[in-house]
Amino acid sequence: MNLIGNLLIAPPAVKGNFWYKTVIMITEHHVHGSVGLVLNKRSSLTIRDFGSQLGLPLNVDGYVYQGGPVNPQSLSFLHSNEWHSKNTLRVNETFSLSSADDILPRLAMGDHPRKWRVFLGLCGWGPGQLHGELNGTPPWRKEHSWCTSGADLNLIFESDQKDQWCSALDRSGLEFAQNIL
């Protein structure tokens, strides 16, 4: 499976830490490591309140999400592909990731894609680390190996938190069953 644009889902055995019931989209995967965003860790900070803190009138509904423990002040904007900024990475044919200083002012003007989420922070893996975690290669344990699945706009943007984890885990199981039949 090409990991870019697909999901990592924390297995039920992962408990008691930040990764508990997480769903992560991988946005980069290469010999130097991997990068992703936790999709379902919604913070208590609304987009409006975030805008107020920055002095921008962000009159849109929604929340800022905790994209991961790495670089918690970095802003990422995951969105559908019909929109772009001056620094947009096309993840795949459905999703893009933008991280430019013009995103929030554009949101304040009502210029935004059809589907989107704002994240602070990200996830990162060193060279070979993600493959080790996926395969349960020591020091990682097989029972804590990530589940994987494909992604679509509804799964990514129409659910969050525990519901998104359950939906992604169900999808992973269906994809697994289809591949062994």
- pLDDT means per 10 residues, the chain with 181 residues, are 92 90 97 97 96 93 96 96 94 95 92 96 96 91 90 93 92 83 58
Tokens 């309140």 sit on residue = 49
Helix (H) or strand (E) segment spanning residue 134 = helix 129-135
Q: What is the pTM of this model?
A: 0.93
In the chain, the N- to C-terminal Cα span, in Å, equals 17
User: Residue 35 pairs with which residues in a beta bridge?
Assistant: 28, 124
Note the pLDDT of residue 181.
Answer: 58
Note the pLDDT of residue 56.
Answer: 92
d(CA 168, CA 72): 24
d(CA 84, CA 67): 20
Helix (H) or strand (E) segment spanning residue 24 = strand 23-30
CATH number assigned to the domain covering 7-160: 3.40.1740.10
